[in-house]
A = this chain, B = another copy of it.
Amino acid sequence: MKFGVVVSEGPYTHQASDSAYNFVKAALENGHEVPRVFFYHDGVNVGTRLSIPPQDERNIQKNWTALAAEHDLDLVICIAAAQRRGLLDENEASRQGKDANNISEGFRISGLGQLIEMGIQTDRLMTFGD
């Protein structure tokens, strides 16, 4: 079965991104497909490569990046939500005249259409938010 997953809250502040990670991992390990994970609202902040969590805490971004690499996951950050919140890839940064970018390996930035498409093309849509 194909699961689409929405993550609506930022890392650490809300448990949403942890719960989504645990759900996706369990789905993949049990023979299901997760064609896409869509990060919306503050969820876009999960994709920053600049976070440095305390050493005795989990590294949420690295967990997602590793899971994406292992299972060839499509981790999509909503461009509109990302622009408000200061999450950029190299392309966007240069297009917008910003002097830095902060997106992590394994994530890509794209439009809201990817969320709707995910809803159309998957069998179940899961939302993890606040």
Interface of A toward B, CB cutoff 8 Å:
10-13, 41-42, 45, 48-54, 57, 61, 80, 83-88, 93, 96, 98, 100-102
Contacts of A84 in B (CB 8 A): 11-12, 51-54, 57
Give the CA-CA distance A80 to B53 in the complex, in Å.
8
Whole-angstrom distance between the Cβ of A71 and the nearest chain B Cβ: 24
Count the copies: 2
Contacts of A41 in B (CB 8 A): 13
Contacts of A42 in B (CB 8 A): 10, 13, 42
Which 3 pairs between the two chains have the least Cβ-Cβ distance? A48-B86, A50-B86, A51-B86
Whole-angstrom distance between the Cβ of A67 and the nearest chain B Cβ: 19
Residue of B nearest to A41 (CB): B13
Residue of B nearest to A53 (CB): B84
**Is A87 within 8 A of B11, CB to CB?**
no
